[in-house]
């Protein structure tokens, strides 16, 4: 009986440890936050300011946090639509070779998670320079 109790305590401790160090969950990028009469995403930006002597890419994450799961990497000059902001982070939608039309340049009736054909995620805002909007 004592070994069962010890095993239960150890299992509970392992569960607590893994939960306390878990990555933040997904936070889908929302479009239409500026209102029903404005474009779904208000600005177009370009990735800039990366260190060419470093990794020279911007990591796209599942949530606005450095601990969130990495989804993709963007290189210098990549254009993205900025749809949502969180302190230090931008919720973006971006085209791929396969899907070039993200359909975020028209109004949506109310705020909602992006559900189009393009990719989405969160990047550090300091590496984006607004080029339109």
- Residue by residue, DSSP assigns 13-65 as HHHHHHHHTPPP---PPEE-TT-TTS-SS-EEEEE----TTTT--EEEESSSS
Considering the domain boundaries, does residue 12 fall inside one?
no
User: What is residue 57's predicted lDDT score, i.e. its pLDDT?
Assistant: 97
Six-digit token pair at 14? 């392992």
Q: Taking 50 as the threshold, does the pLDDT of residue 128 lie above it?
A: yes
Per-residue pLDDT of 80-123, as tens digits, reads 999 999 999 999 999 988 778 899 999 999 999 999 999 999 99
Considering the domain boundaries, does residue 41 fall inside one?
yes
Considering the domain boundaries, does residue 6 fall inside one?
no
Six-digit token pair at 123? 């990047």
Per-residue pLDDT of 5-53, as tens digits, reads 443 433 444 444 444 456 678 999 999 998 889 999 989 999 999 998 9
Considering the domain boundaries, does residue 40 fall inside one?
yes
Considering the domain boundaries, does residue 72 fall inside one?
yes
Q: Taking 50 as the threshold, does the pLDDT of residue 56 lie above it?
A: yes
Mean pLDDT for the stretch of residues 73-85: 97
User: What is residue 7's predicted lDDT score, i.e. its pLDDT?
Assistant: 39
User: What is residue 17's predicted lDDT score, i.e. its pLDDT?
Assistant: 41
**Interatomic CA distance for residues 59 and 124, integer angstroms:** 8
Structural domain span for residue 101: 24-132
Tell me how far CA of residue 27 lies from CA of 2, 108, 130, in angstroms.
43, 19, 23
Question: How many distinct structural domains can be found in the chain?
Answer: 1
Give the residue among 73, 47, 24, 30 at the shortest CA–CA distance from 126.
47
User: What is residue 22's predicted lDDT score, i.e. its pLDDT?
Assistant: 61
**Interatomic CA distance for residues 70 and 67, integer angstroms:** 9
Six-digit token pair at 82? 């900025």
Give the pTM: 0.81
CATH number at residue 84: 2.30.30.40
Q: Taking 80 as the threshold, does the pLDDT of residue 59 lie above it?
A: yes
């Amino acid at each position: 009986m004592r070994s069962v109790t010890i095993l239960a305590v150890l299992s509970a401790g392992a569960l607590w440890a893994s939960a306390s160090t878990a990555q933040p969950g997904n936070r889908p990028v929302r479009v239409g936050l500026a209102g029903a009469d404005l474009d779904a995403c208000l600005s177009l930006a370009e990735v800039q300011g990366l260190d060419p002597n470093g990794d020279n890419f911007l990591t796209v994450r599942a949530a606005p946090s450095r601990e969130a799961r990495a989804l993709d990497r963007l290189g210098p000059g990549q254009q993205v639509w900025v749809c949502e902001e969180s302190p230090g982070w931008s919720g973006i939608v971006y085209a791929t070779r396969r899907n070039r039309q993200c359909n975020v340049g028209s109004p949506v009736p109310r705020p909602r998670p992006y559900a189009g054909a393009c990719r989405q995620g969160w990047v550090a805002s300091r590496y984006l320079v607004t080029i339109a909007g």
